[in-house]
Amino acid sequence: MKRLVVLTGAGMSAESGFSTFRDSGGLWERYPVEQVASHDGWLADPDLVNDFYNGLRQQLIKAKPNRGHELLAEMEKDFDVHIITQNVDNLHERAGSHHVIHLHGELMKVTSSADPDNPRYIRTLTPEDYEVHPGDKAADGSLVRPYIVFFQEAVPMIGPASEEVEQADIFVIIGTSLNVYPAAGLLSYVKPRVPVYLIDPKPVNAPGNRPVTYIAKGASAGVADLWDHLSKADL
Ligand code: APR
């Protein structure tokens, strides 16, 4: 089976009711990103940050995977599908995808603020218990923080993600403005003759100068077109 590697961003979850970050009315227009999603913001006001992510979790619990998520999961019958997502939602997993790498963390997980990448302290919240309250402590006695990669912090999963991209037979980019590194840099790991597709209703400036096949549609319609194209193409 051909290895289909997919890089997704906020646009993948737009049809599930999540606002993107940089579209008009996007999240970073309504919340100062440096206050709610940066390391310094966490140090300055951990309660504000935890409250912001409590709000996103509340949205996620009510949200459902959209047709685009479902189609990517269904494509596992024709391709060895590996998803690398910048999204912190769990919609790819809930749609049935089996190989998902989260570059920027996971919204339904929290961890120690003293030792955030130590698996011993990573805890998965449930729809019944999804809020972090001021003063909540992790098992090591430090304040509980979201298991999210804040701006100014390293992206521990970029290594495994780059290795995935190097093994791609087909590379697909869905719903990301490719503004944020190192995620946007993954395109440079795609081997020379591997076809690249980009699904986005708006034009996206893909770094580098390799040919990209644009599908100027939303995620659901775009993935349907892509699958149809791939099933006819002789790759
Ligand atoms: N289907 C597909 N793409 C869509 C849709 C849709 N229905 N609606 C919007 N888009 C596209 C937009 O045109 C845009 O190109 O999704 C992209 C969203 O871009 P951003 O809002 O910049 O989100 P993203 O690229 O995921 O941001 C990357 O930045 O703030 C950080 O950590 C955060 O992971 C995030 C990272």
The size of the chain, in residues, is 235
Q: How far is the CA of 114 from the centre of ligand 1 (A)?
A: 30
Cβ of 220 below 6 Å from ligand 1:
no
pLDDT band at 157 (very low <50, low <70, confident <90, very high): very high
Cβ of 111 below 6 Å from ligand 1:
no
Cβ of 26 below 6 Å from ligand 1:
yes
Q: Please report, for residues 48, 128, 149, 226, the alpha-carbon distance to residue 223 in angstroms, rounded to integers and kept in the order given.
A: 37, 33, 28, 5
* Whole-model pTM over 0.95: yes
DSSP single-letter state for residue 72: H
Whose alpha carbon is nearest atom 13 of ligand 1? Answer: 202
Cβ of 146 below 6 Å from ligand 1:
no
- Decide if pLDDT at 153 tops 70: yes
Whose alpha carbon is nearest atom 36 of ligand 1? Answer: 180
**Which amino acids are annotated catalytic?**
104
Cβ of 202 below 6 Å from ligand 1:
yes
pLDDT band at 31 (very low <50, low <70, confident <90, very high): confident
Q: How far is Cα 64 from Cα 218, in angstroms, rounded to an integer? A: 16
Q: How far is the CA of 126 from the centre of ligand 1 (A)?
A: 26
Identity at 220, one-letter amino acid code = S
pLDDT band at 24 (very low <50, low <70, confident <90, very high): confident
Q: How far is Cα 32 from Cα 47, in angstroms, rounded to an integer? A: 15
pLDDT average, residue stretch 112-122: 97
pLDDT of residue 19: 84
For 162-221, the pLDDT digits (tens) are 999 999 999 999 999 999 999 999 999 999 999 999 999 999 999 888 999 999 999 999
For 123-136, the pLDDT digits (tens) are 999 999 999 999 99
For 43-101, the pLDDT digits (tens) are 999 999 999 999 999 999 999 999 999 999 999 999 999 999 999 999 999 999 999 99
Q: How far is the CA of 131 from the centre of ligand 1 (A)?
A: 25
